[in-house]
Amino acid sequence: MNDGLTEDSHNELKVLEENETYGSFNVFSKDVLGRLGRLTTKSGIIETPHLFPVINPLIQPITPKQIQDSLRCNAIMTNAYMLRKNFDEAARKDGVHKFLDFDGIVATDSGAYQILAYGKIAATPLEIASFEESIGSDIAVILDVPTGFEQDRNHARYTVEETIRRADLTIQNLTRTDILWEGPVQGGTHLDLVAESAQQMGKRPFDIYALGSPTQVMEHYMFDKLVDMIITAKMNLPINKPLHLFGAGHPFMLSLACLLGCDLFDSAAYAIAAKREKYLTETGTLSLQNIEYFPCSCPLCSTREPKEVLSYDKVMRHRFLAEHNLRVCLSEIMRIKQAITEGRLWELVETRARSHPMLTGALKRLSKHRNFLERHSPSRKSRGLFYVGSTGLARPEVTRHQLRIQNNYRKPLHAKTLLLLPQTKERPYHKSRLFKEIDDMVNDNSVHVCFYAAPYGVVPSEIDEFYPLSQTEIAFPLSDETRRYVTDRSVEYVLQEKYAHIVLLADTAIWGNELVHRFRQLKNKTRKNIVIVMRDNDVSDKTAASNVLKHLQRTRT
């Protein structure tokens, strides 16, 4: 099998496929909060994460049939309000699948975006819900009231309360049982209202939940606020249901949203960008007239030159751009799925975060939510970790080690002296030459050897083989933030565990002077018996071990 799934994931997927029922959402692989899942609808199964290409029933540069046949996308989304306004009778008569000439899965939005854009629409929540039932939508969104961007608190509260009222009204009047309904969470950037909305919507029997009003936040590249909004919603919604992020469709931010636990996306960005003569990539947006070389090997870009596309008439040019843009979006979704199967989603997000400073800021924002990320992330992976910089300090694996050391770990019962060594190139650390030299000389269970190691902090030698402590590749030189984090964890450990003596082997060539400075401060403040042994850059492991041994012998006397 070459699909990247582990044997356990394949076995779990086989079991899920045999037991899938209408409306079920089954997860068969996870990384951080990102998950590969299967959502069963009456017209087929959506594998998540999934991007619904939004179909404009009035003007569509790529037909739904082309999206299904050429781009192999089995689920699209269209606007129920626009269908009702412009094609009411035909859509009811044919049903949405036949009307769009699409025999896959069709989701329908309710027209709430038009409320956001124009203030109101000529339809009530019950009229929209009744229409969505009449055209046979597979997935349908209730007509909520979006909060929007930079709205005052009073208006935001109104949108939350009115959306809940409309949710109850809609649920009470549904007549079909074969449509999956989405319940939107409102509140905008007022996080307490997002939490309240999520808690209330989570009590309603929706099959899917959605985060409303993120579009304008994303348009302003305020991805740090988006992180807070998504995590706040996730914390307060049923964890076993899919989460839909409305209006998210630019490929460079999809991996971040998946890492935060979003399962479904929808966007017309591929078509809107094409109309503006914009060319989407995984790292940003280019103007067609400024492109000398297409940075893409899709079937379109690999057989044409930019100058040739510029010579097309407007309709052909926009069709070319729309198809390319959608291809790159769908390709990124597949890349995210593969990253989840490999346990590499965090690394993919770090790569994408370098595309824009605001994405980098959003990645740094994850440190605020590190405990929640840790709580809901898998404890083991089939592959090791790559640590490339301080943004990785918020990784669930780093947080998990810190919590286990603080809450679950206690030093060996007979250990009286802590010997704190720098991490070694060899792993596990207890198999390094430095450790062996010292172990041969000491041979005393009263001496407990630990390592200070990036990015985890203190790593006791007796557990350094455990995942992921010896399965992490680290980029050197270390950042100041990384050295500071490890120093803080080392000081915390010394204060937590009651050793009679502490011997620190300080490697300033790699770690700088911060660790030495903090341990000197600790010695002066607490009067602990702390000895600092300096290791010069050109000193061998044997000489370093010998120097350490001299100080260990002094602690005994």
Both structure tokens of 482: 């990384």
Per-residue pLDDT tens over the stretch 16-66: 565 678 899 999 999 999 999 999 999 999 999 999 999 999 999 999 999
The answer, yes or no, to whether residue 157 has pLDDT greater than 60, is: yes
pTM to 2 decimal places: 0.92
Instruction: Report how far residue 9's alpha carbon sits from residue 215's, in angstroms, rounded to the nearest whole number.
Output: 34
- Reduce the DSSP state of residue 46 to 3 states and report it: strand
Per-residue pLDDT tens over the stretch 201-249: 999 999 999 998 788 889 888 999 999 999 999 999 999 999 999 999 8
pLDDT band for position 9 (cuts 50, 70, 90):
low
Beta bridge partners of 34: 31
Q: Which residues make Cβ contacts (< 8 Å) with residue 408, sequence separation at least 6?
A: none
- Reduce the DSSP state of residue 41 to 3 states and report it: strand
pLDDT band for position 67 (cuts 50, 70, 90):
very high
**Which pLDDT does position 29 carry in this prediction?**
96
Instruction: Report how far residue 149's alpha carbon sits from residue 242's, in angstroms, rounded to the nearest whole number.
Output: 24
The answer, yes or no, to whether residue 463 has pLDDT greater than 80, is: yes
The answer, yes or no, to whether residue 2 has pLDDT greater than 50, is: no
**Which pLDDT does position 151 carry in this prediction?**
83
**Which pLDDT does position 528 carry in this prediction?**
84
Q: Is 109 a catalytic residue?
A: yes
Alpha-carbon radius of gyration of the chain = 28
Asked whether 417 and 501 are in contact (CB, 8 A), the reply is yes
What one-character-per-residue DSSP string does 210-271 give?
A: EE-S-HHHHHTT-HHHHHHHHHHHHHHS-TTS-EEETT---HHHHHHHHHTT--EEEE-HHH
**Which pLDDT does position 342 carry in this prediction?**
95
Provide the pairing of β-strand 243-245 with 264-267: parallel
The answer, yes or no, to whether residue 313 has pLDDT greater than 70, is: yes
What CA–CA distances, in Å, run from 181 to 27, 42, 129, 143? 19, 12, 10, 11
Both structure tokens of 382: 């089939």
Q: How many residues does the chain have?
A: 557
The answer, yes or no, to whether residue 8 has pLDDT greater than 80, is: no
**Which pLDDT does position 292 carry in this prediction?**
96
**Which pLDDT does position 269 carry in this prediction?**
94
**Which pLDDT does position 506 carry in this prediction?**
94
Instruction: Report how far residue 427's alpha carbon sits from residue 516's, in angstroms, rounded to the nearest whole number.
Output: 24
Question: What is the DSSP code (8-state) at residue 424?
Answer: -
> Over pLDDT 70: what percentage of the chain?
96
Q: Which residues make Cβ contacts (< 8 Å) with residue 523, sequence separation at least 6?
A: 530
**Which pLDDT does position 336 carry in this prediction?**
98
Residue that has been written with the tokens 């740090």 in this structure: 224
What CA–CA distances, in Å, run from 409 to 396, 413, 470, 497, 553? 18, 12, 18, 10, 27
- The alpha-helical segments, DSSP class H, found in 135-183 are 153-172
CA end-to-end span of the chain, whole Å?
A: 63
The answer, yes or no, to whether residue 3 has pLDDT greater than 80, is: no
> Average of pLDDT values for 470-483?
95
> Over pLDDT 90: what percentage of the chain?
83
Both structure tokens of 175: 């007549």
Residue that has been written with the tokens 């109101």 in this structure: 120
**Which pLDDT does position 1 carry in this prediction?**
37
Instruction: Report how far residue 117's alpha carbon sits from residue 126's, in angstroms, rounded to the nearest whole number.
Output: 21
Question: What is the DSSP code (8-state) at residue 366?
Answer: G
Q: Which residues make Cβ contacts (< 8 Å) with residue 120, sequence separation at least 6?
A: none
> Average of pLDDT values for 475-487?
96
CB atoms within 10 A of CB 307: 9
The answer, yes or no, to whether residue 443 has pLDDT greater than 90, is: no
Give residue 542's identity as a one-letter amino acid code.
Answer: K
Give residue 524's identity as a one-letter amino acid code.
Answer: N
What CA–CA distances, in Å, run from 179 to 132, 142, 183, 496, 526? 9, 12, 13, 55, 66
Per-residue pLDDT tens over the stretch 323-342: 999 999 999 999 999 999 99
The answer, yes or no, to whether residue 481 has pLDDT greater than 50, is: yes
What CA–CA distances, in Å, run from 81 to 56, 64, 142, 374, 391? 11, 18, 11, 41, 43
CATH number of 385-556: 3.40.50.10630
- The alpha-helical segments, DSSP class H, found in 343-462 are 345-353, 357-365, 370-375, 396-407, 433-442
Both structure tokens of 121: 């629409």
Asked whether 52 and 208 are in contact (CB, 8 A), the reply is no
Residue 423: phi, psi to the nearest 5? -60, 150
Both structure tokens of 332: 């990124």
DSSP H or E segment with residue 515 = helix 514-526
Per-residue pLDDT tens over the stretch 499-543: 999 999 999 999 999 999 999 999 999 888 999 999 877 778 888
Domain residue spans of the chain: 269-342, 385-556
pLDDT band for position 422 (cuts 50, 70, 90):
very high
What CA–CA distances, in Å, run from 442 to 10, 359, 548? 48, 50, 10
Catalytic residue among 94, 101, 109, 439: 109
